[in-house]
């Protein structure tokens, strides 16, 4: 994520504060007198037009995250983006997201569809959990090759991604522990709405078939063995 920095000379911002949260990074909005959070690495003081003086803490337990000032450059399709992020595709909720381009790119690649969803050059914002949930909604096996996905099914997958994103945002995201909270320190509850991820051996909420777990590219993937049938794809996985 990034926050445009105001141009002191007026006009459009020329730079932005770029935040990479890594595995455990947090941006926490606090009042000035609030007690310190654990693992704070950077602290910013900000002036809010309605709430007055506040502080923004960047906390990171595992030290994989980062903050940096970066120049804004023109983005494909319009708008501006930090130069370090220009290789990253738009996310499915972006009004400028190119549906036709995404579907064409997905269907032109022979990699498994789960790997494709995690490719930020194709689509951004899709992590391991939301990829599994979108594939479950679209009834697609994670190893189905992109070239085996028809236009209609590709549109269903894109719609499923948007549904998962919208529901996760409404429920505050997926919090498995205290590291995953919003800027106010509140945990999300989307974990209670998961249909596939983390439910190995449990019945599928849709058809009752068993949820299976396989490892693809070092990442766990969860799917229903009954209603997410496998299409054509290269085999390189471990079953659990």
| CA–CA distance, 4 with 180 (Å, rounded to integer) | 24
In this prediction, residue 151 carries a pLDDT of: 97
- Give me the residues paired with residue 30 across strands: 55
- Contacts for 10 with CB less than 8 Å, ≥ 6 apart: none
- Contacts for 45 with CB less than 8 Å, ≥ 6 apart: 32, 53, 54, 55, 56
- The percent of residues above 70 in pLDDT, for the chain, comes to 88
Given phi > 0 = left and psi -120 to 50 = alpha, else beta, which region is 185?
left
Q: Where in the sequence of the chain do the CATH 1.10.8.50 domains occur?
A: 99-239
Which tens digits make up the pLDDT trace of 127-169? Answer: 899 999 999 999 999 999 999 999 999 999 999 999 999 988 8
Which tens digits make up the pLDDT trace of 88-140? Answer: 999 999 999 999 999 999 999 999 999 999 999 999 989 899 999 999 999 99
| CATH entry, 99-239, from 1.10.8.50, 3.90.1300.10, 1.10.1270.20, 3.40.50.1100 | 1.10.8.50
Answer for the pair 146, 107: CB distance below 8 angstroms, yes or no.
yes
Q: Which residue has the higher pLDDT, 118 or 170?
A: 118
Query: Considering the entire predicted model, what is its pTM?
Result: 0.81
Which tens digits make up the pLDDT trace of 62-75? Answer: 888 999 999 999 98
Residue 137, SS3? Answer: helix
**Residue 150 in tokens:** 């028809």
Q: Say whether pLDDT at 178 is over 90.
A: no
């Amino acid at each position: 994520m990034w926050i445009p920095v105001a141009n002191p000379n007026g006009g459009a911002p020329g730079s932005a504060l770029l935040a990479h949260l890594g595995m455990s990074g947090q941006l926490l909005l606090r009042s000035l007198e609030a007690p310190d959070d654990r693992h704070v690495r950077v602290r910013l003081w900000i002036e809010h037009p309605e709430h007055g003086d506040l502080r923004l803490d960047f906390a990171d337990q595992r030290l994989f995250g980062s903050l940096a000032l970066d120049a804004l450059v023109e983005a494909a399709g319009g708008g501006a983006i930090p130069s370090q992020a220009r290789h990253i595709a738009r996310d499915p909720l972006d009004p400028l997201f190119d549906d036709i381009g995404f579907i064409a790119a997905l269907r032109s690649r022979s990699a498994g569809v789960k790997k494709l969803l995690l490719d930020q050059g194709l689509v951004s914002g899709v992590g391991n959990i939301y990829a599994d949930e979108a594939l479950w909604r679209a009834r697609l096996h994670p190893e189905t090759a992109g070239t085996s996905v028809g236009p209609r099914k590709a549109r269903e997958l894109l719609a499923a991604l948007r549904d998962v994103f919208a529901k996760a945002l409404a429920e505050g995201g997926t919090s498995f522990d205290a590291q995953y909270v919003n800027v106010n320190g509140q945990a999300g509850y989307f974990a209670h709405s998961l249909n596939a991820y983390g439910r190995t051996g449990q019945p599928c909420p849709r058809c009752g078939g068993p949820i299976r777990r396989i490892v693809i590219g070092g990442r766990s993937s969860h799917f229903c063995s009954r209603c997410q049938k496998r299409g054509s794809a290269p085999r390189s996985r471990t079953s659990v």
